[in-house]
Structure 1
Amino acid sequence: MNRGCIILWLIFGLLAITATFINLYMFGTGKDYKLAMAMGLSFTALTLVADYSMVSNWVKAEDWAALSDVVPTMEKAFWILTSIAILLNITPTLLELKNRK
């Protein structure tokens, strides 16, 4: 089960990054970017949920070494990366609002 969570975490993370770049590309070319934005944010959320499942499995297995090694570092990384993902995904919307004024 833990291997499945790791694979999901990687897949969702890569899909979130890809969707975010598609979002920015579509905005840059003047195309409708809103679906790509929603996908980028959704895959970011799914990445976090997959990681939470992985941590939950470590707790169930009482793998305290894995928890103490990984969780403190991943917490900081997830805060930073999630914040960046949100900012990158909403940038087109903010720029669009700015250009309307």
Structure 2
Amino acid sequence: MWIILGFIAIAATLLNIYLFSAGKDYKLAMAAGLSFTALTLCAEISFIAGQAAREDWSAVREVVHFQRALWALTGASIFINVLPVFIERRDKKKKINAAS
């Protein structure tokens, strides 16, 4: 399940970038990208919890090695999804300063 949610999160993030670069409203895609990233992490945690409940410690050990990647990819997802907000803000400030 986490793989499916992860691909949806990537697709929503790419849609966010596309909509922003096309000058269209991107905020729904941004919210979807962040939401599916969170759902992906929840699904991964549920998977690990299920393995631990079955006392399949070798499976838990295999997954735990990816914790740094999960942190890095989550951080990247947040950064990429929120970046258009900061770019838009910067551009608005430039327009205000240019008009003054």
Contiguous gaps of at least 5 residues in structure 2: 94-100
Matched-pair contact (CA < 8 Å) for 2:33–2:81:
yes
What TM-score does the superposition give when structure 1 sets the normalisation length? 0.90
CA contact (8 A) 2:48 2:63 kept: no
The aligned length equals 93
Q: Any runs of at least 4 consecutive aligned residues in structure 1 with deviations exceeding 6 A, and if so which?
A: none
How do 1:1-101 and structure 2 match up within 5 A?
8-71=1-64, 73-101=65-93
Percentage of pairs with the same residue: 48
CA-based RMSD of the aligned residues comes to 0.6
Larger radius of gyration: 2
Shift of 1:89: 0.1
Segments of structure 1 that go 5 or more residues without pairing to the other structure are 1-7
In the alignment, the residues of structure 2 paired with residue 49 and residue 68 of structure 1 have an alpha-carbon distance, to the nearest angstrom, of: 18
The normalised TM-score by structure 2 is 0.91
